[in-house]
Structure 1
């Protein structure tokens, strides 16, 4: 655009530098502002060039003029609107007036990769889903591993059993307790159970036998079946008996059968759900028979942690007890004179020779009599320390 000559000085106000680098996306509209301070007598116009050529009518410009604080200076402004519709719209745009010029170089900016962002989001979502699935599948194994490695064992508490199992002597409950629950916990995991098929609360108050059995056990397991609920104390006042059980045992375990759950009274289900923080409810399903099922893992988590000791160390419950009972002697290795059996020693107590005994006349028609009376072996109790008890013959003394 032509214009009259302007006197000096000419000052560039916008852009702040004579060289501007801009990176823009295709489809953007950018206004290029070129403002100069000129003498008040100047009537010239700002000229726009693209790559050294006049822009002509390809782009529209808005020119404006305003005076300064006094009539000696005024401002000329020209704003060129560039619509980046094609790659040809990129280039170097220059505004100039006489010997003063400023340039705007427009570069094409790479479009933001939405595909990469979507792929990253999907990967994060997949990792989150996999983590949740693995936690649901392996949470019990992780909890068991942590409990067995870092959990506190319940030792030296004077308890004889890990759990007291209360069940109804019905056909189904008896088979479940004796042929599934007891073998799995005792033979596979080493727990010691006390089975009680009698009524827990024959009256409004707990019996002395109930108190003794529960006090000797670290947990109370109740096989809560339909037959169990048909007991007299359950039918008369199950609510009071239920809360008495919560007072007697710490975190009792209630085992329910899935095929009987829908037939349970609403009061029983409501009481079990209202006390979830003080008891453990477990559901026996058709797939719970497998040793790897969640039922056994949850049951093991509810039971005390078991300690596996090497042979010869004795019962861990008596490791730190000052019990003088020879059946519970702490030093089992020194006390057990016959580790291979309990029907007589195979070495003498002392190095001194045994006392002489008059020879016994032989009776040819009779079998030799045994030196040890074993008639009462069947009534003796070896449960406390089976590796200690031994019989000593009179000659060895």
Structure 2
């Protein structure tokens, strides 16, 4: 009840007249008593009917008016000398928002067909006994009191709807006001009006699916769900039924744990007509189930309708397996691509160490590497202290350097051609000084290129010691750059043996099986 309004409590023991009725207890030794159980007392306390707010009327207990302190559990008890029976009623007192409350729970749900006449009577008004007193009833529709005319009128305490329309649906509120013992009292009741289609026509259930041209695709071995959608036309106070049958037996009659069919669920509702769905679940669907007859049926008092579900097995396509396999394959390919892109030098060196051949056993060359460089202090320092040292001491190559290994008194051209011809690789250190005509470095480059062009086994490797503009390269160097590998020295960054420079250089030099490539 709302705070400040009248509340009445009806003793639920009289809900079953075959057990108890108030007229019977008046002629018996039974007495009707009211008790109250509050949170402040562990025991039930008798109701003090001397309070002016409490009034007992037959099987009702009236609280006029109710306050927040009146909330709690009320117990009505029938007792005599030898026995007693009792039952509790919970009273909740809530705040009222204005003259009426749009969020209130309705005391009554009322269905009215379109274009029909219906009289709305305020609930519980007939329970109010007021001798020598008057009362008034105020009506609201969605808290709007201007609702009369155009098909709705007041007749006494009642509201008459002469021709029901869609705009008349919704929440109606009636407020009853009366005077008692010099006090003005009132109570509020809410009626929810639902508009429905008239109870006319065939009203036979309509099965939307399974339809005559509908095919259910099923997968063998899976759990198959068959759905049945039915329109149940509105019928007053009538329960309508939807069920599935398998070979003309219901799921309960079949008693097979593979088949289950939960209760129908409401999909939509319009003007009393219900769209309901009931599913049939078939676990571990087999080829034999394709030969069964699956029917969805619906019935009410107006008729019966049924429809058969046509099933067809779809070819199994291992989508998940293929997707997983393709995903794993792509992931592996991507991972291999990344690994090769980052570690391609290491992979090539590893491959060569496993499957490469040692050239010392296939030729009669004396040197592994012949180093050609410009004769200036900076470049000579790089060749002698860094390049030669690493190639001889760390990698174990036999290195030929003209200024160190040539004997005095020989001809420079003849000795150069002889040394280059006895080497497996010609390493040319490229710098601005090496691109000058008439130098020893240019003679060595020409000798190496000539040997390569005439089918010799010599291979030429270019090391860029310092950047050089291409337009000042000599003709032989420009031609060599197009066909030969150029490895760039980047100063301190290239100094460690694990740097990219030494790995690239080692890849171009002869393989040594008696040395381990610890720097790979």
**TM-score relative to the length of structure 1:** 0.44
- Please state which structure has a larger fraction of its residues in strand: 2
Q: Which has the higher contact order (CA 8 A, sep 6+)?
A: 1
- Please state which structure has a larger fraction of its residues in helix: 1
* Rg larger for: 2
